[in-house]
Amino acid sequence: MTVHVVGNACIDTTFRLPRFALAGETLNASSHFKGLGGKGANQAVAAARTGAVVALWTAIGRDGDGRRISDMLAGEIAALRATEFNLPSDCSTIAVDAAGENFVLSGVACAEAFDPIRQTALATEVRPFDVVVLQGNLSSDATNACLTLARAAGAKTIFNASPLAVGAVVELACVDVVIVNEGEALSISGMQTAQEAATILLERGARSAVITLGARGCLFLPHAQSESIVMAAPAVKVVDSSGAGDVLCGVFAGYVSMGLSPLAALAMAVQAAALAVTRQGTMASCPSAADLASILKTTGLEEI
């Protein structure tokens, strides 16, 4: 089985700050660095490090950053399917404060122009029992078309509902697992608690829901008739929380594709995300294949 990740890839510039700047204020960063990022690329690499076979379907510019993105991904995933545009490659600026909290500003011209169904061979490569993963960076039309295609092909679908543009509408009826952080879940659902939000997401068509709770772990609602499961995260010292959600989503998808139960895959994903927040960077914080193998062995999660 193949994990098909359909999403963006970009160059991240991360600034570490003592605190976030006020409006109109200039702050000098204690450090800054560039690296590979983008929710699609992050999740594809995290999935690949589980040992899964991964294809990344993405869009880049015909520029130096596009070449750097391709070069950095070449050794990480089995298949890079990059559509090129005469546009600047996507980029993000990430600010991280002393507590490890972050905010992200992104330029997504390539992601917005990307139509995977029309511009790639995705429709001919998705097979029954593959896993198809999408995020909120593409247009609603493109996202819905890919989810519909995947469901028709008999693939499992995972939708990480982040970021979602104002007014974006995604057809959750084609989603097997929707993954969203707590703040976004409450905003999307209009509810006051993660439990209520998960219930609403299933009422809107998703077969199951994962709501990430930061340092508290995550809430998993396997199906509409089940009780929710709260999975605690290990206590760690947070250095940088950026990219942790992508690690969770990618690791979950990778292990699901290799036959772990959703519960076991999610347990691994929570452990991996907890490790990621102890490191700097987005993709740079992603646990290695050796890290994941060690977690799998020491926790016995393969037996779940």
For residues 93-116, average pLDDT: 91
pLDDT at 66: 96
Structural domain spans, the chain: 2-18+32-303
pLDDT at 304: 45
Burial (CB < 10 A; 0-12, 13-18, 19+), residue 64, is exposed
Just give the CATH number of 2-18+32-303. 3.40.1190.20
Is residue 227 scored above 80 in pLDDT?
yes
Name the average pLDDT for the chain. 93
Is residue 42 scored above 70 in pLDDT?
yes
pLDDT band at 2 (very low <50, low <70, confident <90, very high): very high
* Dihedral, CA of residue 240, residue 55, residue 219 and residue 37, to nearest 10: 20
Are the beta carbons of 50 and 128 closer than 8 angstroms?
no
pLDDT in tens, 107-146: 999 999 999 999 999 999 999 999 999 999 999 999 999 9
The identity of residue 293, as a single letter, is A
pLDDT in tens, 242-274: 889 999 999 999 999 999 999 999 999 999 999
pLDDT in tens, 132-183: 999 999 999 999 999 999 999 999 999 999 887 666 778 899 999 999 999 9
pLDDT at 166: 64
